[in-house]
Structure 1
Amino acid sequence: MSDIGLLYVGAVLIINGVMLLGVMTGRDAAPLNLFVGAMQVFTPTMMVVGAQGDDAVILAASGLYLFGFTYLWVGINALAGLPARGLGWFSLFVAVAAIGFAGATWAQGGRVFVVIWILWAVLWMLFFLVLGLEKQGLTRFTGAVAVTEGIGTAAIPAWLSLTGGLRDSDTLALVYAVAAVLVLPILYALTRVRTAGSSSAEAVAPGVG
Protein backbone atom coordinates (compact mmCIF):
# COMPACT_ATOMS: atom_id res chain seq x y z
CA MET A 1 0.00 0.00 0.00
CA SER A 2 1.39 3.41 -0.92
CA ASP A 3 2.15 5.83 1.88
CA ILE A 4 -0.45 8.31 0.59
CA GLY A 5 -3.09 5.60 0.34
CA LEU A 6 -2.24 4.36 3.83
CA LEU A 7 -2.59 7.89 5.22
CA TYR A 8 -6.14 8.17 3.93
CA VAL A 9 -6.98 4.66 5.06
CA GLY A 10 -6.12 5.98 8.51
CA ALA A 11 -8.55 8.85 8.01
CA VAL A 12 -11.43 6.65 6.90
CA LEU A 13 -10.87 4.13 9.69
CA ILE A 14 -10.98 6.94 12.23
CA ILE A 15 -14.17 8.37 10.72
CA ASN A 16 -15.84 4.96 10.59
CA GLY A 17 -14.76 4.19 14.12
CA VAL A 18 -16.23 7.46 15.36
CA MET A 19 -19.44 6.54 13.56
CA LEU A 20 -19.57 3.14 15.27
CA LEU A 21 -19.13 4.92 18.59
CA GLY A 22 -22.36 6.78 17.83
CA VAL A 23 -20.96 10.24 17.17
CA MET A 24 -22.07 10.43 13.52
CA THR A 25 -24.35 8.59 11.11
CA GLY A 26 -23.44 6.29 8.25
CA ARG A 27 -24.45 8.97 5.75
CA ASP A 28 -22.05 11.38 7.43
CA ALA A 29 -19.22 8.90 6.84
CA ALA A 30 -20.26 7.93 3.30
CA PRO A 31 -18.40 10.58 1.24
CA LEU A 32 -14.97 9.82 2.66
CA ASN A 33 -15.58 6.07 2.24
CA LEU A 34 -16.42 6.63 -1.43
CA PHE A 35 -13.39 8.90 -1.98
CA VAL A 36 -10.92 6.52 -0.32
CA GLY A 37 -12.58 3.45 -1.80
CA ALA A 38 -12.30 4.87 -5.30
CA MET A 39 -8.64 5.71 -4.71
CA GLN A 40 -7.95 2.20 -3.39
CA VAL A 41 -9.45 0.67 -6.53
CA PHE A 42 -7.96 3.07 -9.08
CA THR A 43 -4.43 2.85 -7.65
CA PRO A 44 -4.06 -0.96 -7.74
CA THR A 45 -5.64 -1.07 -11.18
CA MET A 46 -2.93 1.26 -12.46
CA MET A 47 -0.31 -0.83 -10.67
CA VAL A 48 -1.51 -4.01 -12.37
CA VAL A 49 -1.63 -2.33 -15.78
CA GLY A 50 1.98 -1.18 -15.41
CA ALA A 51 3.29 -4.29 -13.60
CA GLN A 52 4.55 -6.02 -16.75
CA GLY A 53 4.18 -9.38 -15.05
CA ASP A 54 5.98 -8.40 -11.84
CA ASP A 55 4.46 -10.76 -9.27
CA ALA A 56 5.47 -8.57 -6.31
CA VAL A 57 3.65 -5.56 -7.75
CA ILE A 58 0.55 -7.62 -8.55
CA LEU A 59 0.55 -9.06 -5.03
CA ALA A 60 0.73 -5.58 -3.51
CA ALA A 61 -2.10 -4.40 -5.74
CA SER A 62 -4.33 -7.31 -4.79
CA GLY A 63 -4.18 -6.29 -1.14
CA LEU A 64 -5.34 -2.77 -1.93
CA TYR A 65 -8.50 -4.06 -3.58
CA LEU A 66 -9.58 -5.65 -0.29
CA PHE A 67 -9.81 -2.23 1.30
CA GLY A 68 -11.05 -0.38 -1.75
CA PHE A 69 -14.02 -2.70 -2.17
CA THR A 70 -14.78 -2.47 1.55
CA TYR A 71 -14.95 1.32 1.60
CA LEU A 72 -16.94 1.55 -1.63
CA TRP A 73 -19.41 -0.99 -0.24
CA VAL A 74 -19.66 1.02 2.98
CA GLY A 75 -20.38 4.25 1.13
CA ILE A 76 -22.95 2.66 -1.17
CA ASN A 77 -24.68 0.95 1.76
CA ALA A 78 -24.91 4.23 3.61
CA LEU A 79 -26.43 6.17 0.73
CA ALA A 80 -28.74 3.41 -0.52
CA GLY A 81 -29.82 2.06 2.87
CA LEU A 82 -28.83 -1.51 1.94
CA PRO A 83 -28.61 -4.35 4.49
CA ALA A 84 -25.20 -4.99 6.00
CA ARG A 85 -24.95 -8.77 6.18
CA GLY A 86 -23.20 -9.14 2.82
CA LEU A 87 -20.60 -6.56 3.82
CA GLY A 88 -20.09 -8.49 7.04
CA TRP A 89 -19.36 -11.74 5.25
CA PHE A 90 -17.04 -9.98 2.82
CA SER A 91 -15.21 -8.66 5.89
CA LEU A 92 -14.60 -12.29 6.93
CA PHE A 93 -12.94 -12.88 3.54
CA VAL A 94 -10.78 -9.78 4.07
CA ALA A 95 -9.79 -10.95 7.56
CA VAL A 96 -8.64 -14.34 6.29
CA ALA A 97 -6.86 -12.79 3.31
CA ALA A 98 -5.05 -10.38 5.64
CA ILE A 99 -3.45 -13.32 7.44
CA GLY A 100 -2.18 -14.53 4.10
CA PHE A 101 -0.75 -11.09 3.33
CA ALA A 102 0.94 -11.10 6.75
CA GLY A 103 2.66 -14.34 5.79
CA ALA A 104 3.68 -12.97 2.40
CA THR A 105 5.06 -9.83 4.07
CA TRP A 106 7.14 -11.97 6.44
CA ALA A 107 8.50 -13.98 3.51
CA GLN A 108 9.54 -10.74 1.80
CA GLY A 109 11.47 -9.63 4.89
CA GLY A 110 8.97 -7.19 6.36
CA ARG A 111 8.37 -7.18 10.09
CA VAL A 112 6.29 -4.20 11.22
CA PHE A 113 3.68 -4.74 8.53
CA VAL A 114 3.36 -8.39 9.47
CA VAL A 115 1.94 -7.21 12.79
CA ILE A 116 -0.11 -4.50 11.09
CA TRP A 117 -1.69 -6.99 8.67
CA ILE A 118 -2.60 -9.21 11.63
CA LEU A 119 -4.18 -6.25 13.41
CA TRP A 120 -6.18 -5.46 10.27
CA ALA A 121 -7.31 -9.10 10.25
CA VAL A 122 -8.55 -8.65 13.82
CA LEU A 123 -10.43 -5.48 12.92
CA TRP A 124 -12.11 -6.98 9.85
CA MET A 125 -13.04 -10.04 11.90
CA LEU A 126 -14.80 -7.68 14.29
CA PHE A 127 -16.65 -6.15 11.33
CA PHE A 128 -17.75 -9.69 10.42
CA LEU A 129 -19.00 -10.35 13.94
CA VAL A 130 -20.89 -7.05 14.15
CA LEU A 131 -22.37 -7.09 10.65
CA GLY A 132 -22.35 -10.66 9.41
CA LEU A 133 -23.36 -12.28 12.70
CA GLU A 134 -25.04 -9.19 14.21
CA LYS A 135 -23.14 -9.27 17.49
CA GLN A 136 -24.47 -5.90 18.63
CA GLY A 137 -22.56 -5.91 21.89
CA LEU A 138 -19.28 -5.58 20.01
CA THR A 139 -20.28 -2.42 18.10
CA ARG A 140 -18.62 0.13 20.36
CA PHE A 141 -15.55 -2.04 20.87
CA THR A 142 -15.19 -2.36 17.10
CA GLY A 143 -15.49 1.41 16.76
CA ALA A 144 -12.79 1.99 19.36
CA VAL A 145 -10.49 -0.53 17.67
CA ALA A 146 -11.10 1.11 14.28
CA VAL A 147 -10.13 4.54 15.63
CA THR A 148 -7.05 3.15 17.37
CA GLU A 149 -5.90 1.18 14.33
CA GLY A 150 -6.65 4.12 12.04
CA ILE A 151 -4.12 6.09 14.05
CA GLY A 152 -1.60 3.41 14.98
CA THR A 153 -1.54 1.09 11.96
CA ALA A 154 -2.24 3.60 9.18
CA ALA A 155 -1.90 7.33 9.84
CA ILE A 156 1.26 7.22 11.96
CA PRO A 157 3.18 4.65 9.85
CA ALA A 158 2.18 6.51 6.68
CA TRP A 159 3.35 9.85 8.04
CA LEU A 160 6.62 8.39 9.31
CA SER A 161 7.24 6.71 5.98
CA LEU A 162 6.42 9.87 4.02
CA THR A 163 8.85 11.87 6.15
CA GLY A 164 11.58 9.22 6.13
CA GLY A 165 11.17 8.32 9.79
CA LEU A 166 9.92 4.72 9.52
CA ARG A 167 12.58 2.07 10.07
CA ASP A 168 11.34 -1.51 9.83
CA SER A 169 12.85 -3.81 12.46
CA ASP A 170 12.11 -6.76 14.70
CA THR A 171 12.15 -4.40 17.67
CA LEU A 172 9.52 -2.06 16.26
CA ALA A 173 7.37 -5.03 15.26
CA LEU A 174 7.60 -6.33 18.83
CA VAL A 175 6.60 -2.92 20.17
CA TYR A 176 3.50 -2.97 17.95
CA ALA A 177 2.60 -6.50 19.04
CA VAL A 178 3.00 -5.76 22.75
CA ALA A 179 1.03 -2.51 22.43
CA ALA A 180 -1.81 -4.40 20.74
CA VAL A 181 -1.90 -7.06 23.46
CA LEU A 182 -2.11 -4.32 26.10
CA VAL A 183 -4.49 -1.90 24.37
CA LEU A 184 -7.16 -4.24 22.98
CA PRO A 185 -8.32 -5.57 26.37
CA ILE A 186 -8.42 -2.01 27.73
CA LEU A 187 -10.60 -0.86 24.83
CA TYR A 188 -12.88 -3.85 25.35
CA ALA A 189 -13.30 -3.08 29.04
CA LEU A 190 -13.98 0.60 28.44
CA THR A 191 -16.53 0.07 25.68
CA ARG A 192 -18.44 -2.74 27.39
CA VAL A 193 -19.72 -0.19 29.91
CA ARG A 194 -22.15 1.19 27.32
CA THR A 195 -22.88 -2.02 25.43
CA ALA A 196 -26.53 -1.97 26.39
CA GLY A 197 -27.02 1.24 24.42
CA SER A 198 -25.36 0.03 21.21
CA SER A 199 -27.12 0.41 17.89
CA SER A 200 -28.16 -2.62 15.84
CA ALA A 201 -25.81 -4.09 13.26
CA GLU A 202 -28.08 -2.96 10.46
CA ALA A 203 -27.96 0.63 11.73
CA VAL A 204 -24.18 0.80 12.01
CA ALA A 205 -23.41 -1.02 8.78
CA PRO A 206 -22.92 2.06 6.57
CA GLY A 207 -20.01 3.36 8.62
CA VAL A 208 -17.87 0.26 8.87
CA GLY A 209 -14.45 0.54 7.25
Structure 2
Amino acid sequence: MSNVGLLYVGGVLFLNSIMLLGKVEGKSAGIFNLFVGVLQVITPLYLIMTAKGDTDVIFGASGIFLFGFTYLYVGITNLCKLDTSGVGWYSLWVAILAVGYSLVNFIQFGDYKFGIIWLMWAFLWTLFFILLGLKKEIGRYTGLVTLIQSWVTAAIPAFLSLTGLWDKVSPALVWIVTAVSVIAFVYFYFTAVPVSRSRASRTPSA
Protein backbone atom coordinates (compact mmCIF):
# COMPACT_ATOMS: atom_id res chain seq x y z
CA MET A 1 0.00 0.00 0.00
CA SER A 2 1.16 3.56 -0.67
CA ASN A 3 2.81 4.83 2.49
CA VAL A 4 1.10 8.20 2.13
CA GLY A 5 -2.25 6.47 1.72
CA LEU A 6 -1.58 4.25 4.74
CA LEU A 7 -0.75 7.32 6.82
CA TYR A 8 -4.18 8.75 6.07
CA VAL A 9 -5.81 5.40 6.76
CA GLY A 10 -4.44 5.93 10.25
CA GLY A 11 -6.01 9.38 10.28
CA VAL A 12 -9.46 8.23 9.23
CA LEU A 13 -9.39 5.27 11.62
CA PHE A 14 -8.44 7.65 14.44
CA LEU A 15 -11.30 10.01 13.57
CA ASN A 16 -13.79 7.15 13.23
CA SER A 17 -12.73 5.75 16.60
CA ILE A 18 -13.38 9.12 18.23
CA MET A 19 -16.75 9.21 16.47
CA LEU A 20 -17.64 5.78 17.87
CA LEU A 21 -16.64 6.99 21.32
CA GLY A 22 -19.12 9.85 20.97
CA LYS A 23 -16.65 12.73 20.63
CA VAL A 24 -17.21 13.55 16.93
CA GLU A 25 -20.52 13.94 15.08
CA GLY A 26 -21.17 11.42 12.31
CA LYS A 27 -21.56 13.89 9.45
CA SER A 28 -18.36 15.67 10.40
CA ALA A 29 -16.43 12.38 10.33
CA GLY A 30 -18.17 11.44 7.10
CA ILE A 31 -16.50 14.29 5.21
CA PHE A 32 -12.99 13.09 6.07
CA ASN A 33 -13.99 9.52 5.18
CA LEU A 34 -14.84 10.79 1.70
CA PHE A 35 -11.48 12.56 1.40
CA VAL A 36 -9.53 9.43 2.29
CA GLY A 37 -11.86 7.19 0.29
CA VAL A 38 -11.20 9.19 -2.87
CA LEU A 39 -7.44 9.05 -2.20
CA GLN A 40 -7.61 5.29 -1.71
CA VAL A 41 -9.42 4.82 -5.01
CA ILE A 42 -7.25 7.13 -7.12
CA THR A 43 -4.00 5.64 -5.75
CA PRO A 44 -4.66 2.00 -6.74
CA LEU A 45 -6.00 3.08 -10.13
CA TYR A 46 -2.72 4.87 -10.80
CA LEU A 47 -0.67 1.93 -9.53
CA ILE A 48 -2.56 -0.53 -11.75
CA MET A 49 -2.30 1.68 -14.83
CA THR A 50 1.47 2.05 -14.37
CA ALA A 51 2.15 -1.54 -13.24
CA LYS A 52 3.03 -2.76 -16.75
CA GLY A 53 1.52 -6.15 -15.98
CA ASP A 54 3.41 -6.66 -12.70
CA THR A 55 1.03 -9.00 -10.86
CA ASP A 56 2.53 -8.24 -7.43
CA VAL A 57 1.90 -4.50 -7.89
CA ILE A 58 -1.63 -5.16 -9.14
CA PHE A 59 -2.32 -7.47 -6.21
CA GLY A 60 -1.12 -4.85 -3.74
CA ALA A 61 -3.21 -2.17 -5.42
CA SER A 62 -6.31 -4.35 -5.24
CA GLY A 63 -6.06 -4.35 -1.45
CA ILE A 64 -6.11 -0.56 -1.33
CA PHE A 65 -9.53 -0.57 -3.00
CA LEU A 66 -10.90 -2.44 0.03
CA PHE A 67 -10.08 0.60 2.15
CA GLY A 68 -11.15 3.17 -0.43
CA PHE A 69 -14.62 1.76 -0.92
CA THR A 70 -15.04 1.24 2.82
CA TYR A 71 -14.40 4.90 3.56
CA LEU A 72 -16.51 6.13 0.65
CA TYR A 73 -19.34 3.88 1.83
CA VAL A 74 -19.00 5.07 5.45
CA GLY A 75 -18.79 8.71 4.38
CA ILE A 76 -21.89 8.58 2.21
CA THR A 77 -23.80 6.58 4.82
CA ASN A 78 -22.97 9.11 7.54
CA LEU A 79 -23.68 12.20 5.46
CA CYS A 80 -26.97 10.87 4.10
CA LYS A 81 -27.97 9.18 7.38
CA LEU A 82 -28.51 5.85 5.65
CA ASP A 83 -29.03 2.51 7.36
CA THR A 84 -25.65 1.00 8.25
CA SER A 85 -26.44 -2.61 7.35
CA GLY A 86 -24.94 -2.25 3.87
CA VAL A 87 -21.60 -1.07 5.26
CA GLY A 88 -21.76 -3.85 7.85
CA TRP A 89 -22.25 -6.71 5.42
CA TYR A 90 -19.67 -5.25 3.04
CA SER A 91 -17.28 -5.25 6.00
CA LEU A 92 -17.84 -8.99 6.44
CA TRP A 93 -16.85 -9.58 2.81
CA VAL A 94 -13.75 -7.42 3.26
CA ALA A 95 -12.83 -9.19 6.52
CA ILE A 96 -12.81 -12.54 4.72
CA LEU A 97 -10.65 -11.15 1.92
CA ALA A 98 -8.30 -9.56 4.47
CA VAL A 99 -7.53 -13.03 5.83
CA GLY A 100 -6.59 -14.03 2.28
CA TYR A 101 -4.31 -11.02 1.89
CA SER A 102 -2.71 -11.90 5.21
CA LEU A 103 -2.00 -15.47 4.06
CA VAL A 104 -0.49 -14.23 0.79
CA ASN A 105 1.82 -11.89 2.72
CA PHE A 106 2.85 -14.70 5.05
CA ILE A 107 3.25 -17.50 2.51
CA GLN A 108 4.01 -15.94 -0.87
CA PHE A 109 5.80 -12.71 0.02
CA GLY A 110 7.33 -13.74 3.35
CA ASP A 111 6.24 -10.37 4.73
CA TYR A 112 5.37 -11.35 8.29
CA LYS A 113 4.88 -7.78 9.42
CA PHE A 114 2.09 -6.98 6.97
CA GLY A 115 0.76 -10.51 7.33
CA ILE A 116 0.10 -9.67 10.97
CA ILE A 117 -1.29 -6.24 10.12
CA TRP A 118 -3.76 -7.72 7.61
CA LEU A 119 -4.97 -10.12 10.31
CA MET A 120 -5.51 -7.14 12.61
CA TRP A 121 -7.51 -5.43 9.88
CA ALA A 122 -9.58 -8.59 9.35
CA PHE A 123 -10.51 -8.47 13.04
CA LEU A 124 -11.41 -4.79 12.81
CA TRP A 125 -13.65 -5.28 9.75
CA THR A 126 -15.31 -8.18 11.56
CA LEU A 127 -16.15 -5.85 14.42
CA PHE A 128 -17.70 -3.37 11.97
CA PHE A 129 -19.80 -6.21 10.56
CA ILE A 130 -21.04 -7.11 14.05
CA LEU A 131 -21.66 -3.46 14.94
CA LEU A 132 -23.17 -2.15 11.70
CA GLY A 133 -24.49 -5.30 10.02
CA LEU A 134 -25.81 -7.27 12.98
CA LYS A 135 -26.49 -4.10 15.03
CA LYS A 136 -24.91 -5.45 18.20
CA GLU A 137 -24.14 -3.00 21.00
CA ILE A 138 -20.35 -2.95 20.73
CA GLY A 139 -19.87 0.65 19.61
CA ARG A 140 -17.61 1.67 22.48
CA TYR A 141 -15.54 -1.52 22.23
CA THR A 142 -15.16 -1.12 18.45
CA GLY A 143 -14.13 2.49 18.98
CA LEU A 144 -11.37 1.52 21.40
CA VAL A 145 -10.07 -1.23 19.11
CA THR A 146 -10.16 1.16 16.15
CA LEU A 147 -8.24 3.75 18.17
CA ILE A 148 -5.40 1.32 18.86
CA GLN A 149 -5.33 0.00 15.32
CA SER A 150 -5.24 3.51 13.86
CA TRP A 151 -1.74 3.81 15.31
CA VAL A 152 -0.25 0.28 15.36
CA THR A 153 -1.49 -0.90 11.95
CA ALA A 154 -1.46 2.33 9.95
CA ALA A 155 -0.04 5.63 11.22
CA ILE A 156 3.14 4.27 12.84
CA PRO A 157 4.05 1.75 10.08
CA ALA A 158 3.39 4.40 7.44
CA PHE A 159 5.50 7.02 9.21
CA LEU A 160 8.35 4.54 9.71
CA SER A 161 8.15 3.57 6.03
CA LEU A 162 8.24 7.20 4.92
CA THR A 163 11.36 7.77 7.03
CA GLY A 164 13.05 4.56 5.82
CA LEU A 165 12.94 2.88 9.24
CA TRP A 166 10.23 0.26 8.67
CA ASP A 167 12.65 -2.31 7.23
CA LYS A 168 14.67 -2.08 10.45
CA VAL A 169 11.68 -3.14 12.55
CA SER A 170 11.90 -6.86 13.27
CA PRO A 171 8.92 -9.20 12.89
CA ALA A 172 9.49 -10.17 16.53
CA LEU A 173 8.79 -6.59 17.63
CA VAL A 174 5.64 -6.55 15.52
CA TRP A 175 4.53 -9.79 17.19
CA ILE A 176 5.14 -8.25 20.62
CA VAL A 177 3.12 -5.14 19.75
CA THR A 178 0.38 -7.38 18.38
CA ALA A 179 0.32 -9.48 21.56
CA VAL A 180 0.04 -6.36 23.72
CA SER A 181 -2.74 -5.07 21.45
CA VAL A 182 -4.64 -8.36 21.71
CA ILE A 183 -4.37 -8.25 25.50
CA ALA A 184 -5.79 -4.72 25.37
CA PHE A 185 -8.61 -5.86 23.09
CA VAL A 186 -9.56 -8.62 25.54
CA TYR A 187 -9.41 -6.20 28.46
CA PHE A 188 -11.57 -3.65 26.64
CA TYR A 189 -14.12 -6.32 25.78
CA PHE A 190 -14.75 -7.09 29.44
CA THR A 191 -14.74 -3.43 30.48
CA ALA A 192 -16.23 -1.52 27.54
CA VAL A 193 -18.99 -3.81 26.27
CA PRO A 194 -20.94 -3.87 29.57
CA VAL A 195 -20.64 -0.07 29.72
CA SER A 196 -22.14 0.29 26.24
CA ARG A 197 -24.97 -2.04 27.18
CA SER A 198 -25.59 -0.07 30.35
CA ARG A 199 -25.78 3.18 28.44
CA ALA A 200 -28.01 1.65 25.81
CA SER A 201 -30.43 0.46 28.49
CA ARG A 202 -30.70 4.03 29.80
CA THR A 203 -31.39 5.49 26.36
CA PRO A 204 -35.10 6.49 26.16
CA SER A 205 -37.14 5.00 23.35
CA ALA A 206 -38.17 7.30 20.51
Under a length normalisation based on structure 2, what TM-score does the superposition of the two structures give? 0.92
What is the letter of the counterpart of residue 191 of structure 1? Answer: A
**1:170 Cα deviation after fit:** 3.0
**1:24 Cα deviation after fit:** 1.4
Distance in 2 separating the partners of 1:27 and 1:18: 13
| Residues 112, 172 of structure 1: 8 Å contact kept | no
In the alignment, which residue of structure 1 is the partner of 2:195? 194
Distance in 1 separating the partners of 2:112 and 2:145: 21
What is the letter of the counterpart of residue 152 of structure 1? Answer: V
**1:198 Cα deviation after fit:** 4.6
- In structure 2, list runs of 5 or more residues that go unmatched: 202-206
**1:71 Cα deviation after fit:** 0.2
Distance in 1 separating the partners of 2:76 and 2:3: 25
**1:134 Cα deviation after fit:** 0.6
Residue identity (%): 45
Distance in 2 separating the partners of 1:114 and 1:173: 10
| Residues 36, 68 of structure 1: 8 Å contact kept | yes
Which structure has the larger Rg over C-alpha atoms? 2
| Residues 17, 143 of structure 1: 8 Å contact kept | yes
Distance in 2 separating the partners of 1:161 and 1:187: 29
- In structure 1, list runs of 5 or more residues that go unmatched: 200-209
Distance in 2 separating the partners of 1:35 and 1:3: 16
In the alignment, which residue of structure 2 is the partner of 1:203? none
Q: Does 1:112 align with 2:78?
A: no
Q: Deviations over 1:148-186 (max 9, x none)?
A: 100111111111111122125331232133123211112
Distance in 1 separating the partners of 2:114 and 2:13: 17
**1:44 Cα deviation after fit:** 0.2
Moved over 6 A (4+): none
What is the letter of the counterpart of residue 25 of structure 1? Answer: E
In the alignment, which residue of structure 1 is the partner of 2:90? 90
**1:2 Cα deviation after fit:** 1.1
In the alignment, which residue of structure 1 is the partner of 2:17? 17
In the alignment, which residue of structure 1 is the partner of 2:163? 163
Compared CA separation, residues 105 and 198, structure 1 to 2 (3 A): farther
**1:193 Cα deviation after fit:** 4.5
What is the letter of the counterpart of residue 104 of structure 1? Answer: V
- Number of aligned residue pairs: 198
| Residues 110, 168 of structure 1: 8 Å contact kept | no
| 1:52-67 equivalences in 2 (<5 Å) | 52-67=52-67
Under a length normalisation based on structure 1, what TM-score does the superposition of the two structures give? 0.90
In the alignment, which residue of structure 2 is the partner of 1:68? 68
| Residues 115, 176 of structure 1: 8 Å contact kept | no
